[in-house]
Amino acid sequence: MSKIADRRLLIIDDEENMRHMLQALVSRHGYQVETAAGVEEALAAIGNRHFDFILCDVRMPGMDGMDFLAKGIDRLQDTTVIMMSAFGSIDTAIEAMKAGAYDFISKPFKADEVIMALRKAEEREALRRENRRLKQEISEIRGAGGFSRIITNNPEMLSLIGLAGKVARYDSTVLITGESGTGKELVARGIHDASLRSEKPFIAVNCGGIPETLLESELFGFVKGAFTGADRNRKGLFEEAEGGTLFLDEVGELPLPLQVKLLRVLQEREIRPLGTAVSRKIDVRILGATARDLAEEVGQGRFREDLFFRLNVIHLQIPPLRRRQTDISLLCQHFLDKLDREMGVGRRMLSPEVMALFDQYAWPGNVRELENIIHRCAVIADDQLIRVEHLPQHLQGDASRAHDQHDGCGLSLKRAQEAVERKYIADALRETGGNRLQASKILEMSYPSLLSKIKKYGLSS
């Protein structure tokens, strides 16, 4: 990793005083600085040597900063460009960032604003290097198949994908857990695609989406005459998945009688279709997923303990989107690009206000909720920019509440943090129907701490 003293910075500005002021400022912070009085001089500089960062004025005589971005794009692949302008506007900022700039600061600016922008760029570079390292470690399992569908730069998710890739090589039963919308089926498909069974079928079934009376025949099949209307033999999903993978989504919804039969499949590797006394051997890998806490379900007598242990050979817990905050902008861009390709909505961008709301929102529906909101906004937006008024009402309400909370807290960080903490605890209690133990798990805090906070904020469950 390069030290700051090794980081090269180019300042492009037609005003000599501005160049000298910026050079003196950033040099004190350890950057190796060069300057250019215009675009042609700057293009010659980047043609001869690499710069880590560039501070570039937008308005200059002759060719301007936007021309520099356009003409230098092939040589700016690994360079972070920060634009400067006395004519700052959101439209100019959007145009600059669309053209490849990382950030935008408006003149006149304070010295600490420039240093802060550079520090943000340094942090971004450090994250990019760390993400490249993590991606390299799992590149073999994230190729054309495998886990390439999963959009993430989050270290926790990358670590989970690495573990899933190791598990994929074997036929171990895997239980994938996580909140609704986190991508459990994507992980299951990734395991299948990275396995030796990848050329065979991957079949997914939602155990909670099929009536109990039909689920057994769907899974195990039936023979002619097994029941009224069974006028022919029919394979079940276990046989359809022969040689491949059967993904049992929402396996926690299985009724107890079918849990017994699934346990036998896992133990004996055989099934018995309805209407026959003859069992059939199968070669199927089983992956299960649930949003429920199966250990708690076992304790409540709603799920068999022996089946839980059979399913839970390898456990993969997918983190919720609120713990993957760095993924939000990545996923937004992915969904916007996807909508442009599939529906031709044009190149949409999110306003800074929308991104700020997305960053503070708890995302109870996780990635699926984010995709649905992006879809809605892209369709109803009148121009390129998606604004707060395009968001669903509940998110617009969050914006109003956040503003009201700020007004009530003044500039006190402590009071603002308490306001946010109170809101999250109240939301968790409402989501769990007042179950304080479950709320403590969602909030990832100890039960005694939660009780103390409930008392402190005067909350009732």
pLDDT tens column, 178-197: 999 999 999 999 999 999 99
Tell me if 102 sits within 8 A of 121, measured CB to CB: yes
Of 94-103, 131-140, 337-346, 365-374, give the range with the top mean pLDDT.
Answer: 365-374
Indicate the pLDDT class of residue 144, thresholds 50, 70 and 90. Answer: very low
Task: Mean pLDDT check: name the lowest of 193-202, 220-229, 317-326, 364-373.
Answer: 220-229
Mean residue pLDDT across the chain: 85
- The predicted structure's pLDDT at residue 402: 47
The answer as to CATH 3.40.50.11440 being correct for domain 146-317 is no
| HSE-up (13 A, CA, CB side) for residue 60 | 26
pLDDT digits (tens, 9 = 90+) for 420-457: 777 778 778 877 777 888 888 788 777 777 887 887 77
178 or 129, which is more confident:
178
Higher per-residue confidence, 288 vs 110: 288
When pLDDT is cut at 50, 70 and 90, the band that residue 460 belongs to is low
Q: How far is residue 202 from each of residues 2, 170, 247, 287, 337, measured CA to CA in Å?
A: 45, 16, 7, 10, 27
Decide whether 4-134 matches 146-317 in CATH topology. yes
pLDDT given at position 136:
61
Cα 195 from Cα 187, distance rounded (Å): 12
Residue 133, pLDDT > 70, answer no
pLDDT at residue 28 tops 80: yes
The CATH fold assigned to 324-457 is: Helicase, Ruva Protein; domain 3 (1.10.8)
- Amino acid type, 76: L
**Is the full-model pTM beyond 0.85?**
no
Q: What pLDDT, on a 0 to 100 scale, did the predictor assign at position 456?
A: 76
Who has greater pLDDT, 216 or 400? 216
- β-pair partners for 281: 270
Question: Residue 175 and residue 159: Cα distance in Å, rounded?
Answer: 17
Tell me the pLDDT tens digit for each residue of 219-265: 998 888 878 787 888 899 999 999 999 999 999 999 999 999 999 99
CATH of domain 4-134: 3.40.50.2300
Question: How confident is residue 90, by pLDDT bands cut at 50, 70 and 90?
Answer: low
Q: What pLDDT does 139 receive? A: 53
Give the pLDDT mean for 36-53. Answer: 92
Give the percent of the chain with pLDDT over 90.
42
What lies within 8 Å, CB to CB, of 96 at 6+ separation is: 58, 65, 66, 69, 83, 104
- Whether the per-residue pLDDT at 410 is higher than 60: the answer is no
Q: Let me know: does 236 contact 287? Beta carbons within 8 Å.
A: no
Task: Summarize the confidence of residues 143-153 as an average pLDDT.
Answer: 74
Domain definitions of the chain by residue range: 4-134, 146-317, 324-457
Question: Confidence class of residue 137 from pLDDT cuts 50, 70 and 90?
Answer: low
